[in-house]
Structure 1
């Protein structure tokens, strides 16, 4: 692979992660502008719209997205991916943003890779390596600083934010593990498109999206458009394309741009005030994920082993 291809992959992945961070800021802006917008409604609109766009795109480029429903096992896994992977990673994240702010919600969600390590430890009896253990310790200290601001007898953020943020971090893990067996055969566009659409439709059980009477200005609809197009569809396609040029370990390191962009844009445009504990804790969490990513070859082997022997 040429240096130009590697640079292209790095740029694509970096911009994708920055756009994901911006989508959290756009959601926070929307919640502030219009308090009647719920995280559930926004997630439904985002998932259904982005899912349809991805599936239509897949059909246009000849991926044949409907083939995924031809087998009962793959169909069930798509549904599981949508409900157990995408719902927590998107709905719970938006809940954390609504009750808190985009930087803190994104940093807590960024702990997802460590949930994967804990999963392999508990269910696969795979002991973390020294870099993984070091990363977990650093992430714990960073999270503790964000949550307590150095005062261990009290919480500096709402327990509701911690609850939803924790669920979104678990969602990052399930969002990574569940669709793995489907990706080689059906491709990321079809798998993600159907996962989003299924999850968005199923969420109507908790509140039909068409029954919500949400009145939005042009600015509000602009925020929704940013979340769907620039915060979901475009970064997903860019990141998937980037993986053709760079290693997954490199892509994982570039994920750090998501909480960094969420923090930077929140401070610049939303006047979000972050304490030194938030900044130091966030930096430690990002450093911890980088430590884990630098040891990514073993993590990839573990995921592949899980994919070939899921039981």
Structure 2
């Protein structure tokens, strides 16, 4: 198998696993009565420890960043505003709606990123970016209203947390580039998850938590943390390095599609025609942005 095909397969598998992890989180919260903040804390602590262990085994000097005060502060900002916020808002959206809606709304983040950079650089977006912004707005409108502007098909809280999740994902994607270049991806993401989870610990240290625990929930949690977070992250990184960011972004559209399909099949979530149309429009915005990126990075003769 060629490196390109192998990279595409890695990204595609990662996207499907990511989509399934949202469904898994919805199952855990519904069956165990565990709150989204508590699940966020536990997920981040375990996943952060696993990623830092992988980085250490890989030979990365995982404690080097803590010796640089400026970079350590940037890591703390990324941990709280990035890793913690993106995970917490995502799980809150699932709690208020379902995994499919949460995943699709979070996919607004590429549109937010290109719109933000266009404003900061005071540069007029190209036609593909304009089309992406338009399709993402129409897709969001269909998803949350089913085409009727006088009513919402999901709760206002779900809309709020879903859009907040998209903004958090945009920050999470763009902020740590300098840190990652200096210290490595596994180290930065691992620390951000561990610190983000540790931030929530004081809120639960002195209070007892009551939730259901059984064999299926333990397996679901193992899948969420090990397969749906740690393994998935490693697969996506490896695949994206092989095929490049634009192609990886297009293939990652399998994530909300797999989340929607699995939500319907496994959890009995109702996904109507406007939901599917809204999902496809938001995904098309990601494809348009990726095509615009490829067009701008294509070498000229």
In the alignment, structure 1 residue 242 sits paired with structure 2 residue 248:
no
What pairs with 1:210-289 in structure 2 (closer than 5 Å)? Answer: 211-289=208-286
For residues 147 and 33 of structure 1, the distance between their equivalents in structure 2, rounded to whole angstroms, comes to 26
Partner of 2:192: 195
Q: 2:25 aligns with which of 24, 27, 51?
A: 27
In the alignment, structure 1 residue 182 sits paired with structure 2 residue 183:
no
In the alignment, structure 1 residue 109 sits paired with structure 2 residue 109:
no
Alignment RMSD = 1.7
For residues 90 and 300 of structure 1, the distance between their equivalents in structure 2, rounded to whole angstroms, comes to 31
Listed as ranges, the gaps of 5+ residues in structure 1 are: 302-311
On the 8 A contact 1:44/1:209 being kept in 2, the answer is no
- SS across alignment from 2:2: helix
On the 8 A contact 2:11/2:248 being kept in 1, the answer is yes
Runs of 4+ in 1 over 4 A off after TM superposition: 297-301
Deviations 1:34-79 (A, max 9, x none): 22x0001111111000101111111112111111112112111111
For residues 229 and 255 of structure 1, the distance between their equivalents in structure 2, rounded to whole angstroms, comes to 19
For residues 49 and 209 of structure 1, the distance between their equivalents in structure 2, rounded to whole angstroms, comes to 20
For residues 228 and 253 of structure 1, the distance between their equivalents in structure 2, rounded to whole angstroms, comes to 25
For residues 262 and 255 of structure 1, the distance between their equivalents in structure 2, rounded to whole angstroms, comes to 12
TM-aligned CA distance change 1:97 to 1:298, over 3 Å: same
For residues 206 and 131 of structure 2, the distance between their equivalents in structure 1, rounded to whole angstroms, comes to 44
TM-aligned CA distance change 1:21 to 1:11, over 3 Å: same
Q: TM-score, normalised by structure 2?
A: 0.95
Shift of 1:29: 0.9
Deviations 1:218-252 (A, max 9, x none): 11111111110111000001111112211111111
What pairs with 1:106-145 in structure 2 (closer than 5 Å)? Answer: 106-145=103-142
For residues 235 and 136 of structure 1, the distance between their equivalents in structure 2, rounded to whole angstroms, comes to 28
For residues 146 and 296 of structure 2, the distance between their equivalents in structure 1, rounded to whole angstroms, comes to 32
The total of aligned residue pairs comes to 298
Q: 1:39 aligns with which of 14, 36, 41?
A: 36
For residues 56 and 111 of structure 1, the distance between their equivalents in structure 2, rounded to whole angstroms, comes to 32
Partner of 1:159: 156
- SS across alignment from 1:221: helix
Q: 1:168 aligns with which of 125, 150, 165?
A: 165
Q: 1:58 aligns with which of 55, 59, 65?
A: 55
Q: TM-score, normalised by structure 1?
A: 0.92
For residues 183 and 234 of structure 1, the distance between their equivalents in structure 2, rounded to whole angstroms, comes to 19
For residues 6 and 136 of structure 2, the distance between their equivalents in structure 1, rounded to whole angstroms, comes to 30
- SS across alignment from 2:144: helix
- SS across alignment from 1:273: coil
Shift of 1:118: 2.4
On the 8 A contact 1:41/1:209 being kept in 2, the answer is no
For residues 208 and 234 of structure 1, the distance between their equivalents in structure 2, rounded to whole angstroms, comes to 29
Moved more, 292-301 or 6-15: 292-301
